[in-house]
Structure 1
């Protein structure tokens, strides 16, 4: 469990784990940072005698962070209603695309995005499914299925019985299992590359061939960047829209990049990341495209777009 009396030395190392938990719960790196900072503020606000009574500061911080996230999720519906257009999780770059890391000093800038473990639990498709769950379901499945917390500890977060938490996770799991099985990474990269080439060539026929006829494109501009106001449905309509956008955006550079650990595309102009696109696939064709253009959600990409010194 841990040792009693742990202070700064015993809690500082928990930050990476807490950021990983909070990002999966909230789908927002900015909100995850705030939640973790709030949890640490509460820890350091405890009397020293109370800190010494806590056998596992890490477990305490995880519980508090999860409760903060639960409160945020509870108010998220109202905030989503005020949001301009569709709301999508914040996309994350691969840590290998960051500037110099793993050291200290002026050349090193520790960023929360660099602390996220990129696996299937941060895939855009999974995060979007999490958005369809109740806050309690989301907390239950993330803590149990992703981070392997026992239901007895999750019960303390949700203020429910372990049996009720187990039922919440089972309900959430059904939503996840309803999603299509993931396509192998190599196949995904091949399709994304073909989409990029067809987009650059403004080849509508080639794009239509790569898109499922029932494909859906959802875009998030947050009212700060122009984009489609609601999901666009149909492979042909999406292909036509993509080519129309290419005509209106001369000088746009398309790059194949890892987005939340999966093959994706980044559109850059004059070295500035303007758009990040994630994809989902079925039978070798694109079924979903998630496009993030809200500049506030592209903050990690500003640093990731800089060349690595070497």
Structure 2
């Protein structure tokens, strides 16, 4: 067999790993595939006689490609309001199957939080915390010292984990209520929604988050529940997360933050929630992954 064919076969055995690394760094299926393809092109042009650890070499190459892509991004993948317009305010179908599998394996909340990190922080965190690469191997990829790389990963880890003044018990209680609300919303279950909403619940939303004709402020369990059912499709791409230190909801089609929902829990009911769509307000939120 031709040497290039053998090399291609060896590369294919590592494609899944490389795609996983690239996707966690970039948060985009198409960009991850581009990065992996570029890694193959570089491998094909490289004299492999000095490569003793092919998967390690490829991981380094893909990481550098992703880092360059992250550093050259002028803006996020899609501005929230642009994405909202693209989805037509109502078209919140589930992600395409191949992308949904990747999103589920990473978690929508983690993808959103990773998108708030700087390029170097993101690469350091992904390679060390998600793929257990030693810091002394990550440092040359970033062009940093090992000590600085550790600090970058630590700072990223702090952002991912977030902060909250709530106790573990309080968080668990919030999670139970908000999860019940989201489950009912996904199922379009009006009865379950009425059971989890307080009678005097208030929903406030940025106008950009709403289809034409819906009020920015809605009061009362029945009205709020009916509207939630009307917007059921959004819940299919929603996930729980820490939002400003409390359990909230992120709506993130294709892993890109579109809406954030802060929820006020009173007892075992949702007393109110606010839907945030304005990009400036979204950037001000403290978002983190819920502790397991």
- Do the two structures share a fold, i.e. TM-score over 0.5? yes
Instruction: Give 1:14's aligned residue.
Output: 14
Secondary structure in structure 2 of the residue aligned to 1:289: strand
Secondary structure in structure 2 of the residue aligned to 1:85: helix
Instruction: Give 2:138's aligned residue.
Output: 154
Conservation of the 8 A alpha-carbon contact between 1:217 and 1:291: no
Distance in 2, matches of 1:292 and 1:70, equals 24
Distance in 2, matches of 1:135 and 1:152, equals 18
Task: State whether structure 2 residue 290 is matched by structure 1 residue 290.
Answer: no
Distance in 2, matches of 1:92 and 1:161, equals 44
Of 49, 72, 77, the residue aligned with 1:52 is 49
Conservation of the 8 A alpha-carbon contact between 2:112 and 2:252: no
Of 66, 70, 86, the residue aligned with 2:67 is 70
Distance in 2, matches of 1:92 and 1:12, equals 32
Conservation of the 8 A alpha-carbon contact between 1:195 and 1:207: no
| Structure-to-structure mapping, 1:147-296, within 5 angstroms | 147-179=131-163, 190-197=180-187, 199-201=188-190, 206=195, 208-209=197-198, 228=210, 243-244=226-227, 246-247=229-230, 265-266=235-236, 276-280=237-241, 287-292=248-253
- For each residue in 1:274-293, what CA deviation from the matched residue of structure 2 results, as whole angstroms up to 9, or x when unmatched? xx3333379xx961231428
CA RMSD of aligned residues (A): 4.8
Q: CA deviation at 1:32?
A: 1.0
Task: State whether structure 2 residue 75 is matched by structure 1 residue 79.
Answer: yes
The normalised TM-score by structure 1 is 0.57
1:178–1:56 Cα change, 3 Å: same
Q: CA deviation at 1:147?
A: 0.4
Conservation of the 8 A alpha-carbon contact between 2:25 and 2:126: yes
Distance in 1, matches of 2:33 and 2:55, equals 16
Unmatched segments (≥5 aa) in structure 2 = 1-5, 85-91, 256-292
Distance in 2, matches of 1:153 and 1:236, equals 55
Task: State whether structure 2 residue 110 is matched by structure 1 residue 126.
Answer: yes
1:235–1:277 Cα change, 3 Å: farther
Moved more, 62-71 or 143-152: 62-71
1:228–1:8 Cα change, 3 Å: same
1:81–1:8 Cα change, 3 Å: closer
Unmatched segments (≥5 aa) in structure 1 = 1-5, 99-110, 219-225, 255-263, 267-275, 295-310
Conservation of the 8 A alpha-carbon contact between 1:216 and 1:289: no
Conservation of the 8 A alpha-carbon contact between 1:217 and 1:289: no
1:25–1:170 Cα change, 3 Å: same
Count of aligned pairs between the two proteins: 231
Distance in 1, matches of 2:38 and 2:223, equals 46
Distance in 1, matches of 2:254 and 2:27, equals 16
Secondary structure in structure 2 of the residue aligned to 1:148: coil
Q: CA deviation at 1:207?
A: 6.2
Secondary structure in structure 1 of the residue aligned to 2:111: helix
Q: CA deviation at 1:177?
A: 2.5
Conservation of the 8 A alpha-carbon contact between 1:25 and 1:142: yes
